[in-house]
């Protein structure tokens, strides 16, 4: 049997939902007076005063916080193991005084949830990974804490939690992007502990990039999610490359959401622009510039999820990564559910990924098995 591991799957613990319900500014949860489901408003474009409060954001159901619903989803789609993570916007919006408390609470909740599920599905610890449903997790970080040392301490603490396999983080970092030198202690801690960083977008691009608020309102989430998220990831990682982050921390391991955005496709153009940039010392300027090539970084430091929904994107990802060994299956659950609300049917967002993987590598059964679960089990030491 092929082991299937979902490395891109989110959960909002009940405590997190309660916190969002108590807020009135983005991000927040609004409970309509009717029997309609709660509304999750996490993007600034969702919080449009011209839209009635009961229509803003997106409706959310128990799939966002109920682990039993997550397990049912896994069984429905043949998934053996999921690496759950808090979804955007994580804890970026918290005040410095709150950040550490909430990070520890959320991460302890994730550990307890994984432990409870894994004991229930394999009480004596003898079943193989592909014979049960198991959960692992990426922890969240208190990035708004008063000092990076608090973030570093949480990274190190997570290594003591048996079911935590890394951390998830957005592209804002400490508020100024991922090329911020104040993040060096964080990169050092991740490298030292060999903790995988799952880098996920949230902030997108300004509405003006898509034609203004009118366009984003008319077309819903299509422009910010389909274009803004991938470009956000590409820009963030390119800034890290230009700032020499991968030169200073050559063993840093990063998993990029959505197959790295547009990075695999644009890697050659990025490298060419670097080689021709007169500001860099290598070309007679006075700015250091990156010492390692984008190709080396992609094939050494970067892993890509397979949440790209098409063969063209998957083949670009593999071409950039150098092999299928750095590509990992994911679903992005509970986002993109069937719009008819039927819980007993397959999710097109998942089956599309399965079809794309098989269409891309179907002649190579070993590669298909590696992408679907073997790579994740090896990289994250899932046992």
What are the pLDDT digits (tens) for 64-114? 999 999 999 999 999 999 999 999 999 999 999 999 999 999 999 999 999
Question: Do you know the residue count of the chain?
Answer: 383
The pLDDT of residue 18: 93
Across the chain, mean pLDDT equals 95
φ/ψ of residue 6, rounded to 5: -100, 105
Greater pLDDT, 54 or 154: 154
Check whether 45 has a pLDDT greater than 90. no
Q: Do residues 125 and 175 make contact, with C-beta atoms less than 8 angstroms apart?
A: no
29 domain residue, yes or no = no
Residue 203 lies in a domain: yes
Q: What is the mean pLDDT of residues 20-45?
A: 92
DSSP 250: T
| Per-residue pLDDT at 367 | 96
Helices (H), 229-310: 229-242, 245-248, 263-275, 294-300
Q: What share of the chain is helix, strand, coil (3-state, %, to 5)?
A: 50, 10, 40
Q: Report the percentage of the chain scoring pLDDT > 70.
A: 99
Let me know if residue 294 belongs to a domain. Answer: yes
Residue 24 lies in a domain: no
The model's pLDDT over 117-126, given as tens digits with 9 standing for 90+, comes to 999 998 988 8
Across the range 361-365, mean pLDDT stands at 90
Instruction: Let me know if residue 95 belongs to a domain.
Output: yes
Which CATH number does the domain housing residue 101 bear? 3.20.20.140
Structural domain total, the chain: 1
Mean pLDDT of 291-316: 98
In a domain, 22, yes or no: no
Residue 343's pLDDT band (boundaries 50, 70, 90)? low
Sign of the CA dihedral with 112 first, then 113, 114, and 117 last: positive
Residue-range definition of the domain harbouring residue 134:
5-10+64-380
pTM of the predicted protein model: 0.96
- The pLDDT assigned to 131 comes to 84
- Residue 208, class by beta-carbon neighbours within 10 Å (0-12 exposed, 13-18 middle, 19+ buried)? exposed
Assigned domain for 52 exists: no
Residue 303, domain member (yes or no): yes
* 321-335 pLDDT tens trace: 999 999 999 999 999
Q: What are phi and psi of 136, to 5 degrees?
A: -130, 180
pLDDT digits (tens, 9 = 90+) for 220-279: 889 999 999 999 999 999 999 999 999 999 999 999 999 999 999 999 999 999 999 999
């Amino acid at each position: 049997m092929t082991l299937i591991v979902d490395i891109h799957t989110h959960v909002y613990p009940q405590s997190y939902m309660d916190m969002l319900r108590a807020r009135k500014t983005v991000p927040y949860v609004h409970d309509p007076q009717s029997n309609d489901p709660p509304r999750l408003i996490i993007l600034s474009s969702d919080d449009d005063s011209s839209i009635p409060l009961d229509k803003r954001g997106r409706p959310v159901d128990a799939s966002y916080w109920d682990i039993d619903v997550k397990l049912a989803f896994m069984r429905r789609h043949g998934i053996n193991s999921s690496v759950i993570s808090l979804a955007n916007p994580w804890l970026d919006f918290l005040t410095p005084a709150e950040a550490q408390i909430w990070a520890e609470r959320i991460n302890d909740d994730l550990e307890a949830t994984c432990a409870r599920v894994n004991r229930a599905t394999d009480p004596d610890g003898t079943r193989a990974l592909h014979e049960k449903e198991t959960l692992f997790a990426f922890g969240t970080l208190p990035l708004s804490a008063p000092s990076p040392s608090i973030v570093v301490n949480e990274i190190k603490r997570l290594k003591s939690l048996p079911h935590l396999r890394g951390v998830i983080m957005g592209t804002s970092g400490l508020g100024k992007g991922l090329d911020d030198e104040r993040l060096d202690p964080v990169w050092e801690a991740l490298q030292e502990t060999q903790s995988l960083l799952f880098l996920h977008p949230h902030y997108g691009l300004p509405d003006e990039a898509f034609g203004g608020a009118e366009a984003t309102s008319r077309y819903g989430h299509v422009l910010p999610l389909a274009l803004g998220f991938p470009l956000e990831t590409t820009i963030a990682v390119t800034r890290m490359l230009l700032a020499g982050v991968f030169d200073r921390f050559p063993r840093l391991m990063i998993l990029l959401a959505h197959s790295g955005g547009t990075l695999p496709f644009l890697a050659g153009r990025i490298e060419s622009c670097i080689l021709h940039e007169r500001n860099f010392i290598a070309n007679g300027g006075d700015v250091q510039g990156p010492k390692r090539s984008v190709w080396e970084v992609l094939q050494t430091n970067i892993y890509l999820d397979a949440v790209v929904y098409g063969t063209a994107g998957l083949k670009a990802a593999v071409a950039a990564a150098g092999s299928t060994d750095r590509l990992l299956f994911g679903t992005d659950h509970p986002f993109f559910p069937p719009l008819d609300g039927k819980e007993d049917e397959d999710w097109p967002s998942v089956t599309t990924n399965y079809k794309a993987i098989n269409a891309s590598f179907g002649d190579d059964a070993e590669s298909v098995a590696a992408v679907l679960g073997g790579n994740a089990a090896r990289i994250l030491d899932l046992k």
